[in-house]
C-alpha cells in the first residue's frame, strides 16, 4: 500500500497505535500472549518514536487520539 501524503501516514500511525494498545490491554493469562508479543510491543513503540522524531507523520499527529 502506498501512502499519499502525511494525512494517510497519520492514519497508518493510528493503526500501529491501536495494535500497540491491543497488546498492552491483553491479559498475560490470555491464550497466545507471549514473550513475542512483548517483543512486538517494544519494536512497535520504538518504530512509532522514530517515525515521529524523523517527520514521517504530520506535525499534528498525536497517537493518543487513536481510537478503537
Report the chain (68 residues): mean pLDDT per 10 consecutive residues: 90 94 79 80 95 96 86
Q: How many CA atoms lie within 13 A of 38 on its CB side?
A: 4
* Total count of residues recorded for the chain: 68
pTM: 0.82
- By the 8 A CB rule, do 3 and 9 touch? yes
- Split into its structural domains, the chain has a count of 1
Question: Measured between alpha carbons, how far is 12 from 48 in angstroms, rounded to an integer?
Answer: 11
- Structural domain including 18 reads 5-65
Amino acid at each position: 500500500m502506498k501512502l499519499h501524503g502525511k494525512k494517510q501516514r497519520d492514519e497508518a500511525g493510528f493503526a500501529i497505535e491501536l495494535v500497540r494498545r491491543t497488546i498492552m490491554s491483553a491479559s498475560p493469562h490470555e491464550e497466545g500472549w507471549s514473550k513475542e508479543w512483548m517483543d512486538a510491543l517494544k519494536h512497535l513503540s520504538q518504530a512509532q518514536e522514530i517515525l515521529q522524531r524523523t517527520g514521517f507523520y504530520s506535525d499534528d499527529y498525536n497517537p493518543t487520539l487513536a481510537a478503537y
